[in-house]
Structure 1
Amino acid sequence: MNKKEVNKGKTMSNILLCVSGGIAAYKAIDLASRLSQGGHTVKTILSANAQRFVSQLSFAAITAQSTHSDMFADPDPIAHIHLADWADLVVIAPATANIMAKAAYGIADDLISTTLLAHTKPKLWVPAMNVNMYNNPATQTNLKTLRDRGDFVLEPVSGHLACGYSGKGKYPPNEEVVAAVNCYLHYGRDLEGIRVLVTAGATEEPIDAMRKITNNSSGKMGLSLCRALALRGAKVSLVHGSMKYPVPYYLYEVVSAPTVQEMHSEVTQRQKDQDWIIKCAAVSDYRPAQAIEGKLKKSSEVLNLELEPTQDILAYLSEHKPKGQKLIGFAAQSDELIPNAKKKLQKKNLDMICANYLSTSGKADTAITVIKAKDQENPVQLDGPKELVAHKIIDQIKEL
């Protein structure tokens, strides 16, 4: 059996973090720390207004790299050129309305704006500001200009803002910023226009009002797929059971479906609108034949619980698959990984199956064997952090 090996590790890069003058500037310190801990080399430019909130010393101490601010006081006489050439990706976080307007119009009157003008690769913008400033037509026009030039934008979160308003403009969680950085270092928005439904997490079948039948799935692999798909431009609908991790805030649609019956209903009613369906959820094969009302009392007697089969969501999707739709399944096995995965691939008439051992459930890293219906004798092995493997799975789907 010929197993092709696919990139097991991360490629670390040079990140230039540009911090502009908003209240969220203090969160950029944590971002610099996370990027550095992730293995990236991080240099920092702070605007004059950013230094009213945070100091260069904080970034220098955390990154062990140079920090910059004043173009004419910098030891390097052409720091804007050298930093622009050095960076694999420039990240502007937080990005104020002011710095985005400067970049959109090509204004270069300080070290950040001049460096942005000299940088020839796409940039990642992380806007954070008052909701009215963000929704202002001028700001939205500037964002469109930046996007049209090939830059990436990680949208702000809706919520309570520092100014007292509520609405869209909140700085996103830094784990999402890091995910965007790692994505856009290697991928663009290559999935624009593709509609994808992903299932994730563990279903829960009630025994009584308190107890239930479930499994150890954390939802991490499914969420990693959702995140990678959305960052790369796909319109992602997530239908999920129980999960141990937060859902990315920028997905198109998020639907909770705790039981198999609910998941079956939510998935099948959306099937016809999808280009891809990725069934990553750990779905119960059985459920109690009859749920008990209230809480079952403890007893010294043996309890026999009658179970009945649940609906087979994947089989239904296969039988009703529209022409051109790609259907991908997952198979978690305790033994005979590839033979069992091939049986499921063929029985459910899937385009591709991702097989893994149960031992990877809930862990940060995974080892997945990808088997395609049209190339079953050449499985592809994907190993590493689930966030990285998610992108590699997507690459395999694109080849179908």
Structure 2
Amino acid sequence: MAIRGKHILLGVCGSIAAYKAAHLIRLLKKDGASVQVIMTPDAADFITPLTLSTLSGNPVLTTYADRERGTWNNHVHLALQADAIVVAPVSANTLAKFANGICDNLLCAVYLSAKSSVFLAPAMDLDMWAHPATKANISRLQQAGNLIIPPGNGPLASGLSGEGRLAEPEDILAFLTNHFDESRPLTGKKALVTAGPTHEAIDPVRYIGNHSSGKMGYALATELMRLGASVTLVSGPSDLPKPTGLANFLPVTSAAEMLEQCVANFNDADITVMSAAVADYTPKVTATQKIKKATAGLTLELKKTVDILATLGSQKKISQVLVGFALETNDEQANAIAKLQKKNLDFIALNSMQDKGAGFAGDNNKVTIIHRSGTIEALDLKPKSEVARDICTRIIALLP
């Protein structure tokens, strides 16, 4: 296993989510890692040091000195021993301290002495997570090379529901496993994947959409992670569970929102796979109130959405791999080739509406891969997970 024999320094901050640290320790130990826990003073209000000490097999450290034993907890030595530092949960308070170099407890001192990779898994209420100060601190920490394990979305201790939940221990373990597994072909690469439909609002109740389920895009994201890539998934509305181990999960609704997230993340991506079924048109005007039914009928005036794939293709660097999808009903190959050339793609995966058993909601797909070189590969009908594997194999062949 990738983390077997690794020494993980686990920081635990004051948060209701601190109880998850116990499960994370169990997972790390099960996979063969050794764990040293450092708690902030507030963390002991949420889970006892005895619990974490028992599970980790090591004394939990909270202060610079153990006066009873007459020993000093050397923060420099602790940091140098660690193969990785994981702070889970990390509170808004500790994020701010890390971002601004404040050193008023043992965990902060170890962080400032770190030579290994640092993983930060935030946990806080949704308004705290969305606050501009927190966002600025996250940005500063990322620029300094820290790896952010994004929080989940769901019920919070405040009674509200939204972003801010600590990532599940299994997700945190997946991040660490991906980090240490250097044998996979996409280790160190960043990938951007889009999935699902977009919904273009007509009024607060209705929208223009399509039947895309997101299954193909989610399968691609999962396969890219399996191969070692750090994956950002931009997903339109979908009922699918979020794949475990994503670097970033960015849920969007409209084509404009998907464009914004893709442009923001494209420059850093080594690999981009645009499998989302993005609306070509959106209502020119969105009603602010529900449109009432009228006997005379309803006419909608539509305008074109910005072509996301063409936008990215115009910004593409030689070192980047850009892959698109095309769903056609007639003149399939001719239309797909034109799309590939116009949008500066390395290859395109063509879906035909004529293929039985392949489609938006199903678990199978049948694609024809058309390369920039002119090579055309017609693949058999197979599960979308296997189609994702076929596509990723061809992506790997194109990387420098």
TM over 0.5, yes or no?
Answer: yes
Superposed displacement of residue 140, structure 1: 2.5
Structure 1: where are the runs of 5+ without partners?
1-8, 200-216, 256-262, 284-309, 331-343, 373-393
Partner of 2:140 in structure 1? 145
Partner of 2:193 in structure 1? 196
Partner of 2:345 in structure 1? 325
User: Secondary structure of 1:92's partner?
Assistant: strand
Is the 1:197–1:278 Cα contact (8 Å) retained in structure 2? no
Partner of 1:300 in structure 2? none
2:16 corresponds to which letter in structure 1?
I
Is the 1:196–1:236 Cα contact (8 Å) retained in structure 2? yes
Superposed displacement of residue 57, structure 1: 2.9
Is the 2:27–2:173 Cα contact (8 Å) retained in structure 1? yes
Is the 2:195–2:276 Cα contact (8 Å) retained in structure 1? no
In the TM superposition, what are the counterparts of 1:283-294 in structure 2 within 5 Å? none
User: Secondary structure of 2:41's partner?
Assistant: coil
Structure 2: distance between partners of 1:328 and 1:153: 32
Is the 1:89–1:185 Cα contact (8 Å) retained in structure 2? no
**Per the alignment, do residues 234 and 167 of structure 1 end up closer, same or farther by CA in structure 2, a change over 3 Å counting?**
closer
**Per the alignment, do residues 278 and 84 of structure 1 end up closer, same or farther by CA in structure 2, a change over 3 Å counting?**
farther
Partner of 1:133 in structure 2? 128
Structure 2-normalised TM-score?
0.58
User: Secondary structure of 2:24's partner?
Assistant: helix
Deviations 1:223-278 (A, max 9, x none): 423657998364645798x96x54468433579xxxxxxx9992796654566337
In the TM superposition, what are the counterparts of 1:249-260 in structure 2 within 5 Å? 250-253=248-251
Is the 1:277–1:328 Cα contact (8 Å) retained in structure 2? yes
- 1:266 is aligned to 2:268: no
Match for 1:178 among 167, 173, 182? 173
1:326 corresponds to which letter in structure 2?
D
Q: Which moved more, 1:178-187 or 1:310-319?
A: 310-319
Partner of 2:116 in structure 1? 121
User: Secondary structure of 2:340's partner?
Assistant: coil
- 1:399 is aligned to 2:399: yes
Is the 2:66–2:73 Cα contact (8 Å) retained in structure 1? no
Is the 1:101–1:142 Cα contact (8 Å) retained in structure 2? yes
Match for 2:88 among 79, 93, 97? 93
**Per the alignment, do residues 197 and 369 of structure 1 end up closer, same or farther by CA in structure 2, a change over 3 Å counting?**
closer
Is the 2:178–2:228 Cα contact (8 Å) retained in structure 1? no
Q: Cα RMSD (Å) of the superposition? A: 4.9
User: Secondary structure of 1:252's partner?
Assistant: strand
**Per the alignment, do residues 268 and 119 of structure 1 end up closer, same or farther by CA in structure 2, a change over 3 Å counting?**
same
Partner of 1:112 in structure 2? 107
Partner of 2:152 in structure 1? 157
Partner of 1:10 in structure 2? 2
Match for 2:323 among 277, 292, 298? 277
Structure 1: distance between partners of 2:226 and 2:97: 30
Is the 1:314–1:348 Cα contact (8 Å) retained in structure 2? no
Deviations 1:66-124 (A, max 9, x none): 53222211865243122201112111111111211221222222211111111123411
Percent identity of equivalent pairs = 25
User: Secondary structure of 2:370's partner?
Assistant: coil
Structure 2: where are the runs of 5+ without partners?
197-214, 254-273, 281-307, 314-321, 351-365
Partner of 2:293 in structure 1? none
In the TM superposition, what are the counterparts of 1:70-89 in structure 2 within 5 Å? 70-73=63-66, 77-89=72-84
Structure 2: distance between partners of 1:235 and 1:162: 27
Is the 1:91–1:123 Cα contact (8 Å) retained in structure 2? yes
Structure 1-normalised TM-score?
0.58
Partner of 1:293 in structure 2? none
Is the 1:318–1:348 Cα contact (8 Å) retained in structure 2? no
1:88 corresponds to which letter in structure 2?
D
- 1:36 is aligned to 2:29: yes
Structure 1: distance between partners of 2:380 and 2:18: 41
Is the 1:134–1:168 Cα contact (8 Å) retained in structure 2? yes
Structure 2: distance between partners of 1:35 and 1:100: 23
